[in-house]
Structure 1
Amino acid sequence: MVTRSCWKSRHKPGSGPGSAVFKTGLVVLWLCATRAGCTVEIKEPKVVQKDAEFDVTYNDTVTSDIQTIYAFNHTVSRNKTEGVRVSVEVQSDGVVNPILFVVRQKQAVVSFQVPLILRGLYQRKYPYTHVGRTLCQPPTRAATETQFFFVDVSTLSSLGTHYQLRVSRVDSFTLQTDKKSSFIATPSQPQFFKYEFPEGVDTVIVKVNSQMAFPCSVMSIQDILCPVYDLDNNVAFIGMYQTMTKKAAITVQRKDFPSNSFYVVIVVKTEDEACGGPLAFYPLGPDVLMNVGNRSKVLDVMVSPAINSEVYVMGMLFCLGIFLSFYILTFLVACIENRRMHKRRDGLLNTPDMSPAETASLLGKGLAPASPYEYGSFADNGSTLSSEAVTDSLASGEGNYGYMERSMENVGRGRQESLSSVEEDDYDTLADIDSDKNIVRTKKFLCVSDLARKDKRVLSKKYQIYFWNIATIAVFYALPVIQLVITYQTVVNVTGNQDICYYNFLCAHPLGALSAFNNILSNLGYVMLGLLFLLIVLQRDIVHNRALLRNDIAALECGIPKHFGLFYAMGTALMMEGLLSACYHVCPNYTNFQFDTSFMYMIAGLCMLKLYQKRHPDINASAYTAYACLAAVIFFSVLGVVFGKGNTVFWIVFSIIHILATLLLSTQLYYMGRWRLDSGILRRVLYVIYTDCIRQCSGPMYIDRMVLLVMGNIVNWSLAAYGLIERPNDFASYLLAIAICNLLLYFAFYIIMKLRSGERIQCLALVCILFTAVVWGFALFFFFQGLSTWQKTPAESREHNRECILLSFFDDHDIWHFLSSIAMFGSFLVLLTMDDDLDNVQRDKIYVF
């Protein structure tokens, strides 16, 4: 049974049945009495009320028998806000006997115990004997008003505990625009300040900086409400917040705060794990009290106006203007080229008394390569051939090289065969059923005519599958991606957790629900230039089809066989890269980084396939095989992002697969598909090594191809070794670097072999090559600026944030988007135009390499 003495008819403030101290003590005593079966008599503590003043330190002792109330009053002005801060310190033995402080003010009650116990990872406890709290300021309607607030000090300990209490005004509690304020914060002494939007300013950027990376801290933006959530265990309850080491920045809009003002709250965390700091020793149990150490941090806060609507309009017009200028430039170049072609055609048609054979001869005259080159150093019978012997053989029409000019009768027969209604199944058939492809493809000197023997309509349909497949992939890939990033953005807006997305917060301009509209807008170039490339390809496709309909000999029998399916797929991939990159930048983080890179792999793969298709149209990979390989690359990209960080087993497996894939592809390219992978492959490899290297040391038949493949293997094996040794955290970028290195190597080989073959690069293609190389150089410079990185914690990533550098709207990464989209468009134009010099050269005079 629990009994208590009768209460007096009149109680002093804070000591009656409604008092928080009384209720707490009553519950504790009730539990004690119930469990022990004893009778407890609750005595009313003695209440002492004191009139207190600001900036005076009160040293006193509190026991369970004495409750002290400090009464303060201050004048509150409607046009001026003054902060009030309560600072308390107790002796170290207060850990056993905590003191409860209750601050009662108008519209708010704040309570805290000292020592203040804050919890960290795994519920580890950190006691703080020095606590400082800033009081929220409720608004007033009167011009001036005198407000009272009380600080109640009580404890349940019968032993006296000494404490110090000081209440003071906060200097510069209201932040001024573009004015820096400095302060010190600790986990038990958080700081917050008030900011009011000035007239004409709708958006501001709150920037907090510190010279100290640690201790880890949190910056929060909260509405003017009481109480203010300013402790490590509750700062994430409302408003927007982000962790920080040296930098933090949040863009705040007036529309989100009805009072036209907000609080900037700075809290120092009890531990540094959230900011990537070293993990401390983990105790055996959660009840172990840890040493708090020195966790004070000096910080600066400054609020600056953000850009206005005019800057948004200028940024959008600038972005549109850049890429619309490419449309205008392309139209002008097309007009000039069309006029030149009409003049040339009129000159040919106006030539008197010219037979069809002479016309064909004129089309090919002077445009063939100057001299053939040696593809290998050994003839079919094993003897060495000099370049003079090869030239004599070609001039005399002897040998199996097919370089001699064909008669018009053969040209007509070849054209009739190409227009026949031959259907192709899955087998690699040849147009001439009396020829064996192994005989043709094993010739030391191959021409495009040897590898362009299949029916043109069948090949066109085969390569059109590339476009339709990538269009289908794009739809099924993009829809869930868009849905996911919208969900990400919604979560960020609802929870206020700014650590979810890795923006450049110093240059992240919101628009509507989007947090970084500028990063999304800058991807417009990929879409617009991809569409422009599709229009250019469509125009070339129409012109080529019209030439075929009028039986133009140059279109039928000259130049690189024109199949536009891969070009259409490349243009679509460029547009999808822009869309998915924009989706990624809605909320960039490590879980959706593959959205930004998936179609980069596809672009690199399609470019390599197009380069190979130019000289090998009959034996290029099918769309299904190509996309299956690209799917495997994307699969490994996801595995690397999820499991690759520090996983030795993964890197060993990946390196082995990388090297084996390189060897298999090298064999495929060297033998041009004339090999098979089965159980007898090892026996055949050993036999080749024995016959060519041991029994009779002979050089490779195809020297140029062998040089390319040896260099390719060196590069890929080096990249595999680098990955295995260094194990880079950004696996997706590492995989993309492998694809780009192989593409650049093959492209350089193609250009070198083209020049070696006596072919020339026309002015338009040369301009595109030089322009693209320069733009790629500048683009990579801005790419490696690294304004954010999801390989680190959000707080560490913000250390790399920088201000906008273009029109106060775009940052370095936006310029990378601009330049890389232009560079990719230029690269596509190079692939489209670099063999235009062969348009009037018969295919049996165009070499395969």
Structure 2
Amino acid sequence: MLLRNYWKSRHKNGRGPAPCWIRPGLAAVLWFCVTQLGSGGGAVGETKSVVQKDAEFDVTYNDTVTSENQTIYAFNHTVSRNKTEGVRLSVDVLSQDLDSTILFVVRQKQAVLSFQVPLILRGLYQRKYPYNHVGRTLCQPPTRAASETQYFFVDVSTLSSQGTNYQLRVSRVESFTLQTDKKFSFTASPSQPQYFKYVFPDGVDTVIVKVNSDMTFPCSVMSIQDIQCPVYDLDNNVAFIGMYQTMTKKGAITVQRKDFPSNSFYVVVVVKTEDEACGGPLRFYPLRPDELIDAGNRSKVLDVVVTPAINSKVYVMGMLFCLGIFFSFYLLTFLMACVENKRMNKKRELFQNPSDMSPAETASLLGKNGDGKTPASPYEYGSFADNGSTLSSEAITDSATSTDNNYGYMERSLDSVGRSRQESLSSVEEDDYDTLDDINSDKNIVRTKKFLCVADLARKDKRVLSKKYQIYFWNIATIAVFYALPVIQLVITYQTVVNVTGNQDICYYNFLCAHPLGALSAFNNILSNLGYVMLGLLFLLIVLKRDIVHNRALVRNDLNALECGIPKHFGLFYAMGTALMMEGLLSACYHVCPNYTNFQFDTSFMYMIAGLCMLKLYQKRHPDINASAYTAYACLAAVIFFSVLGVVFGKGNTVFWIIFSVIHILATLLLSTQLYYMGRWRLDSGVLRRMVYIIYTDSIRQCSGPMYIDRMVLLVMGNIVNWSLAAYGLIERPNDFASYLLAIAICNLLLYFAFYIIMKLRSGERIQCLALVCILFTAVIWGFALYFFFQGLSTWQKTPAESREHNRDCILLSFFDDHDIWHFLSSIAMFGSFLVLLTMDDDLDTVQRDKIYVF
């Protein structure tokens, strides 16, 4: 009542700063209320004796305190502007009774620190952990004078009527200021946090603060705070200001001078009361809300070292290195284009002067051997052998003597091409099918032949197919725009939250090699994705050049463009190049702040690239029956949907893994049926009846083998691989579901590619030098890339503290880490893989399509 009247006399209108009973967090006001107004907190009219003692450093004081007495210890020490010494206060109380707690208030110049002993720290579910031994480092306010004497007071009081014994000791911390590149070891616990000061030396603008320990647990927190009082060094307040991160064995934070006006900062290390934040086991739940839990020994030995970060020259070197690598591919492509152009010009000159050529040279330029046959003799399917040359001798003579006015290429009119197609020796003999009137329109009659050629599956109008496959490009371009814009907005928000809150646990960086630039925390991880964009653009330019050349050949009615080779449809190639560029953009967005909630940014277009490559590989020999863009993207969307579900719900969820494995196996069977029957089956109510009938008539009754042996071999191997992957997922249940799903896509792509190469060689076709070099080069690059990928510098499947255990220093130019090298190599390998798909059938450009086999 006395204090209330005093406050009202000072503030007649009831406004102004709140009194001590309204703002209990202000320790200075609390000390004034307890020590100066006389009521103390005991009974009304009770007096308290106050004893002040001159105290000294490094002396242990054993005293007793009750509600009737209060002890004040007065200390003084000399503070120098050029040298900072820490002052540490240690208190030990023998009683664990919450009613016998002692309040310690340290009054300093510009700072007040207060705490009670036993110190009660709360953990998860408000569990209480008492600590009787408390050690705190006192905040040191800066001084402008060269040297001055500062005083501080330690007030000890309690509201308990029972006498409580305590020990008090104040000592100096000689190694309070950290030195650059010098390791310092110390011990910390939840009730005895530690912090040290670091001052930026001249010429150093960025440093990396590294804290290490040989002990995984107890979990701890490292924090970087500005030089100010108070210093937040307890588990329940360390996250209030500055930058902070949890750690087990490793912790690292990059600090820039521009963020600290005083050119110095505190390195604070706090041991947490519980280990859940670092992935440790949950402790038992207390039976009673007020139950105290013995925390046990949670001391942890750590060491801290501050090292200078890279300077601007290293940034420039890193960027020039990155640009140089990928611009070299542009230069190499330009040189190869010049060589190819020179070769074609020479070829035109020879065509324009046929008298200068020998018959062998003429045949060679026309893609023939000396006998007029194709250099690649097709393999025999049983008794199915080569039944004619690609072009008749008359066609060779006519083509060799007719030249274009501008280019000198082989030409014929559309009418002559049509007659040639009808008159040429076809791969389909009349006895291979019934001579029905609808042979040219009924696809079932054509596709049920035992041996198919590309001409049989390239019967649709080319203009219709071109528009069909161009939809792949336009759809993925639309998807890219609507996907990328919200992604960019989201990661900017993530980065802003990290910068404002200082919470380093939001993003899973390799903190030992995370170089900031501007607002970005890990610029090197973003820069290394430039290769995907640049090489994707280069691939689009290469495809565009081929597209233009092919269209010009069609305009000139070039025989090879109209009648020979794999049908040229570039829509899927454009989609693949766009997907590669988007993979770079979205991977860069993901690495702005990699974490559990945005992993799909980095993997979505990986699934799309794998799917598009498989579709392109299938389209080469099956242009008429390849999937439409809408169906393909719908399936890829389903894959991405399951990827999200697997990460969110798949960890340890048996039901999810059973459902996914069943869907995986069913999808494999449906796709196998689609591929085996070339789309000539229907998914309806009678599908099971037809399956049983086929098994009975073909396998049980007649014991006949499969009609399409090669396709059956591929599909059996594919089912074995996919069923094995499904069983592995169901049994092991890998934590990284996204990588598991990507592994399924890559395994199927590699299986089909290997089958394609084997069947191509078995068909008597050959792989040209450029394609062979691309295959070997790409295989080697993929091998090195996967090595760096599996280094695993961070992982969002674990807690941030556990992820940091895998962090490692930069290994390339002091700027790039293992994952950056994975970005470099994988972008080059993907570009090489695309070139393989683009060039692997160039040897067929002079072979008629009714001589190119389907497999």
Q: TM-score, normalised by structure 1?
A: 0.91
Mapped partners of 1:827, 1:149: distance in 2: 72
Structure 1 pair 684/411, CA: closer, same or farther in 2 (3 Å)? farther
Secondary structure of the structure 1 residue equivalent to 2:450: coil
Shift of 1:288: 1.4
Residues 369 and 845, structure 1, Cα contact 8 Å, conserved in 2: no
- 1:24 and 1:672, CA in 2 relative to 1: closer, same or farther beyond 3 A? farther
Runs (5+) with no aligned partner, structure 2: 7-26, 399-411, 422-436
Residue matched to 1:184: 187
Give the distance between the partners of 2:107 and 2:788, measured in 1 at CA: 55
Matched, 1:21 2:34: yes
Question: What's the CA shift string for 1:183-212, capped at 9, x where partnerless?
Answer: 000000000000000000000000000000
Aligned partners of 2:555 and 2:343: how far apart in 1?
Answer: 22
Q: 2:184, 2:193 → 1: CA distance?
A: 15
Aligned pair in 2 of structure 1 residues 279, 482: CA closer, same or farther (>3 Å)? same
Q: Is the 8 A contact 2:376 2:766 kept in 1?
A: no
**1:566-586 deviations in Å (ceiling 9; x for gaps):** 000000000000000000000
- Structure 2 counterpart of 1:279, from 282, 285, 296: 282
Query: In the aligned structure 1, how far is the partner of 2:764 from the partner of 2:39?
Result: 101
Superposition map of 1:30-429 within 5 A: 40-352=43-355, 363-366=366-369, 368=374, 370-375=376-381, 387=382, 389-391=383-385, 394-395=386-387, 412-413=414-415, 415=417
Q: How far did 1:319 drift? A: 0.2
Matches within 5 A, 1:738-753: 738-753=744-759
1:720 aligns with 2:712: no
- Cα offset for 1:95? 3.6
3-state SS of the aligned residue for 2:168? strand
| 2:664 counterpart residue number | 658
| Aligned match of 1:706 | 712
The aligned residue for residue 378 of structure 1 is: none
What amino acid is aligned across from residue 200 of structure 2 in structure 1?
Answer: F
Please say if 1:552 is aligned against 2:558: yes
Question: Among residues 478, 483, 487, which one is paired with 1:481 in the alignment?
Answer: 487
1:597-645 deviation digits (Å, cap 9, x = unpaired): 0000000000000000001111111100100000000010111111111
Structure 2 distance, partners of 1:446, 1:369, is 21
User: How far is 1:702 from its partner?
Assistant: 1.2
**Residue 767 (structure 1) aligns with:** 773
CA apart distance, 1:335: 1.0
Q: Map 1:589-608 to 2 at 5 A.
A: 589-608=595-614
Q: 1:786 aligns with which of 786, 792, 806?
A: 792
Q: Which runs of 5+ in 1 are unaligned?
A: 7-13, 30-39, 376-386, 398-402, 420-430
The residue identity in structure 2 corresponding to 1:446 is: L
Whether the 8 Å contact between 2:95 and 2:164 is mirrored in structure 1 is no
Distance 1:786 1:24, change over 3 A: farther
Provide the secondary structure at the position in 2 that maps to 1:790. Answer: coil
Aligned length: 799
Where does residue 473 of structure 2 map in the other structure? 467
Cα deviation for residue 741 of structure 1 reads 0.3
Cross-structure match for 1:812: 818
Deviation at 1:812, TM superposition (A): 0.1
Please say if residues 15 and 45 of structure 1, whose CA atoms lie closer than 8 Å, have aligned partners that are also in contact.
no
1:41 Cα deviation (Å)? 2.4
CA shift, 1:413, in A, is: 4.8
Cα distance, 1:339 vs structure 2: 1.5
Taking a change above 3 Å as real, the CA distance of residues 503 and 168 of structure 1, as seen in their structure-2 partners, is same
- Cα distance in structure 1, aligned partners of 2:419 and 2:639: 39
SS of residue matched to 1:390: coil
Name the CA distance, whole Å, in 2 between partners of 1:373 and 1:119: 78
CA positional deviation for 1:346: 2.8
Evaluate the alpha carbon distance shift between residue 694 and residue 16 of structure 1 in structure 2; reply closer, same or farther with a 3 A threshold: closer
What amino acid sits opposite 1:836 in the alignment?
D
Q: Distance between the aligned counterparts of 2:392 and 2:508, measured in 1? A: 62
Q: For residues 298 and 126 of structure 2, what CA distance do their matches in structure 1 show?
A: 19
Deviations 1:686-741 (A, max 9, x none): 00000111001111111111111100000000000000001111111100000000
Which residue is equivalent to 1:383? Answer: none
Structure-1 separation of matches of 2:487 and 2:263: 36
Contact 2:368/2:375 (<8 A) preserved: no
Q: Pick from 576, 584, 597: which aligns with 1:578?
A: 584
CA RMSD after TM alignment: 2.6
Q: Distance in 1 between matches of 2:757 and 2:296?
A: 65
Partners in 1 of 2:33 and 2:319 — Cα distance?
Answer: 59
The CA distance in 1 between the partners of 2:39 and 2:445, in whole Å, is: 102
Provide the identity percentage. Answer: 85
**SS of residue in 1 equivalent to 2:520:** coil
The 2-side partners of 1:146 and 1:131 are apart by: 27
Kindly indicate whether residue 541 of structure 2 is the aligned counterpart of residue 527 of structure 1: no
- Cα distance in 1 for residues equivalent to 2:333 and 2:37: 80
Q: Secondary structure at the match of 2:823?
A: helix
Deviations 1:71-119 (A, max 9, x none): 0000000111000000000103444300000000000000000000000
- Answer whether contact 2:186 2:301 (CA < 8 A) is retained: yes
